[in-house]
Structure 1
Amino acid sequence: MTSPNESPFKSKSGIQRIFKAAQYSAQGLKAAFKHEAAFRQELLLCAIMTPLAFYVGRTLLETLFLLATLVGVLIVELLNSALEALADQISLEHHPLLGRAKDLGSAAVMLAIVFTTIVWIAIAIDPFI
């Protein structure tokens, strides 16, 4: 029995929790792929850029940094999509605060993409400067 302040949906501890968490994560990735065009586009870009990271990166750390920026874009996009889904669940009507929340999420994605672009360009041109 759960206490009045505890969510009945909160999982318990142990190995079962790890399996449930992995299941929920897989469901989230599947939902993002199915419902979010931006996530699919960014995932395609990551599929193209991942092999390039091994070519452009001259050291293990550079390669990992290039890959980390790609994963960072996907993470921020997932969080933005989650925020937008919650906002749409609350109300489909225009509300200034919901609009601001969506704009902030979109800005976070844009900053992640800009940062990724800067890192990739910097690492790619470093040998020439």
Structure 2
Amino acid sequence: MHDGRALKGRVGWRRLVHASGYSWAGLKAAFRGEAAFRQLLALNLVLLPLALYLPVDRVERAVLIAVCLLALIVELLNSAIEATVDRISLELHPLSKQAKDLGSAAQLVALSLIAVVWAVILL
């Protein structure tokens, strides 16, 4: 039986290099396979430069940027949940639907957070 310890045996720089490779592979997979991720990336390509340009203080600028990046993080986690559920079974099941719906709800909250924070700071 494999307990996963062999995969965790790297330490130091080797671990960092391999972890970075896995992270990069995840970003590429999200970009290639997830339309919602690409849409959020496009939104971030507009909002992040705008956040740098707006006449706001440093804390407000940091919050404007943070909520945009948070939505990308939530989308990556939502995509991971969906991939895991689909890996387990493509059969329709109430718990599979619930897991996917909860991930989608998390993304809705993250997008709402962007709207609320940007509105509060700019209005």
Partner of 1:59: 57
Any stretches of 5+ residues in structure 2 without a counterpart? none
Q: Which segments of structure 1 move beyond 6 Å, counting only runs of 4 or more? A: none
Letter in 2 for 1:99: K
What is the Cα-based RMSD across aligned positions, in Å? 1.5
Give CA deviations for 1:9-41 in whole Å, capped at 9, x if unaligned. 334211100000111000000000000000000
Partner of 2:20: 22
Q: Is the 8 A contact 1:57 1:66 kept in 2?
A: no
Any stretches of 5+ residues in structure 1 without a counterpart? none
Of 105, 114, 117, the match for 2:115:
117
**How many residues are matched?**
123
Q: CA deviation at 1:54?
A: 1.8
Change (3 A) 1:11 1:43: farther
TM-score, normalised with respect to structure 2: 0.94
Change (3 A) 1:43 1:11: farther
- Equivalent residue of 1:112, what SS? helix
- Equivalent residue of 1:94, what SS? coil
